[in-house]
Amino acid sequence: MAVRPNRTETWVFAYGSLIWDPCFAHVERRPATLKGYRRAFNIWSALARGTPENPGLGLGLETGGEECRGVTYRMDPAHEQDGLRTLWRREMFTGVYRPLWLTVDADGKPVDAIVFVVVPGHPQYAGDLDRQATAEIIARARGERGPCRDYLARTFHALAEVDIDDDELKELLAQVEARAGY
């Protein structure tokens, strides 16, 4: 927080479960685009969406993509400290993410937002899995927060609610549902 570029507002870029479960009070929500990054199922989940014996996958953001479309939230200033504590407990629990201040296009307005980017050298980093392997893992994994498939579906549908079409997630969801018999 000491290096944040804007001292009057705190924005958070959401590309996965934060879209549908932000965990902090906010006063504004906008569709947003982050250039140069991509969303991928590249984090092993041995608790929330899997088990140590049958890990699931979670979404991570990594460099190298054309762009990642998601949602950006402006935190409620009256609850910012509590919101940041809750956000840090959730996203920084295992250290698989590195928080960065990056400029995102928030529905036509550039804003500096906290963005959680995956750490490739972390033990939870699953690497670049092909779609078939990813679909197999997601279809069979279940953890404390439910089936890994639900995490994927909720993210896909939350993006659709803000008019963001993600063809990769759509194709992955179709493959997972075919494997899981939905």
For residue 106, give the CATH number of its domain: 3.10.490.10
Residue 135 counted as domain residue: yes
136-158 pLDDT per residue, tens: 999 999 999 999 999 999 999 99
Residue 84 counted as domain residue: yes
Which domain covers residue 170, as residue numbers? 11-180
Angle of helix 131-140 relative to helix 148-161, nearest 10 degrees? 110
Residue 17: exposure state from Cβ atoms within 10 A (0-12, 13-18, ≥19) = buried
Catalytic residue among 9, 53, 62, 91: 91
63-100 pLDDT per residue, tens: 999 999 999 999 999 999 999 999 999 999 999 999 99
Residue 159 counted as domain residue: yes
Residue 3 counted as domain residue: no
Reported as a pLDDT band with limits 50, 70 and 90, residue 181 is: confident
Is 28 considered catalytic here?
A: no
Regarding pTM above 0.85, the answer is yes
Residue 125 counted as domain residue: yes
Residue with token string 């906290």: 114
Number of domains in the chain: 1
